[in-house]
Amino acid sequence: MSSITLRTQLIINGATVFLVVLLVLASQTLAGPTVSLPQTGTSASTITYQGRLSDANGSPLTATLPMTFKLYDAQQTLLWTEVRTGANAVPVTNGLFTVALGSVTPLETTTISQAVWLGLSVDGDPEMTPREKLGSVPSAHTVADGAITNSKLAAGAVTSDKLATGAVTSDKVSLNSGRKCVNGPVELTPPGNWQLLDVPELELAFSLNEAAHVLVWLDGIVLANDGASVGLFNVFTYVNGTHVMASIHLTDTDTWVNLAEQRLLNLEAGSHTIQVKVNSEHPGTIVFHEGWDGGVYQTCVNYLVF
């Protein structure tokens, strides 16, 4: 078949929030797709993976396609393979797809207890390059009743080696978090000339009793169209009126694009507000997706205090 290209998205949901926090504590960075929190026992359950496929001309695909997913270690040794054909082929709609890796061929916790690289081939095409790195993941029973406090986290008492050895258990953490999602498709009309426009549906306020590290992130998908041959849109995230991250720069028109950006901030005690804003080069429209099937592709702004 013709050449296919892939764009991936970071998945953060209720099951992965705590995992993201601990990985940030260890490295202070976040990159690439993340994995769902594994279940207890030897099985690692599934890795939620989301991507966007387009043809050689950049047009999004709509089809049910056979795909093969593989995980490799740092030495590029093959660790695991999942072939999705027939009834397990992957539905792709307007270029977008989501799969739960491990639901066809089981994943073991030991497989993803180290950094691994994901390889993907679609409909018989060669495996796409470069492979995508996924971080290591502790098992669920290693993360557990209030014994670990925010102060201990901020002080670095939880380290990556403790996660790997299972010294941290899931009932020992209680963290302040919040999430605000659009309830329907939100369409805005930026006036152009780079004038900023608030997205009222993506404004989230919260308070801190003391200074803390706060992870802020935006996820979902967005569609932009200005009717020009070349038009630029920006989606920004502000905290307390200060620009903290540019979530995405849109150059495509009439194409859904992933929002997947995060920032770790040091905030003082008091009231804080997260506000998403947009602007554009020319007058046009921008639409934030409302999601379906339990929130898939729903556009949300989030925070997590630790």
> CA distances (Å), 60 to each of 118, 257, 269, 285, in order?
22, 10, 45, 19
- The whole-number pLDDT of residue 271 equals 95
- The whole-number pLDDT of residue 8 equals 46
Considering Cα of 193, then 196, then 201, then 202, what sign does the dihedral take? positive
Give the C-alpha separation, 297 to 52, whole Å: 12
Complete domains list, the chain, with CATH: 4-134 (2.60.40), 177-305 (2.60.120.40)
Q: What is the pLDDT of residues 215-256, one digit of tens each?
A: 898 888 888 886 665 678 888 899 999 988 766 676 656 678
Cβ atoms of 29 and 21 within 8 Å: the answer is no
- The whole-number pLDDT of residue 52 equals 79
Element (H, E) at 48: strand 47-55
Give the C-alpha separation, 127 to 119, whole Å: 6
Nearest CA among 148, 150, 2 for reference residue 65: 2
87 or 143, which is more confident: 87
Cβ atoms of 261 and 246 within 8 Å: the answer is yes
Claim: this prediction has a pTM higher than 0.85: no
Give the model's confidence band at 28: pLDDT under 50 very low, under 70 low, under 90 confident, else very high.
Answer: very low
Which segment of 85-99, 140-154, 230-244 scores lowest on mean pLDDT?
140-154
Question: Residue 130, preceding bond cis, omega within 30 degrees?
Answer: yes
Lookup: tokens for 280 = 């554009």
Q: Reply yes or no on whether the pLDDT at 158 is more than 70.
A: no
Contacts of 151 (CB under 8 A, 6+ apart): none
Q: Reply yes or no on whether the pLDDT at 184 is more than 60.
A: yes
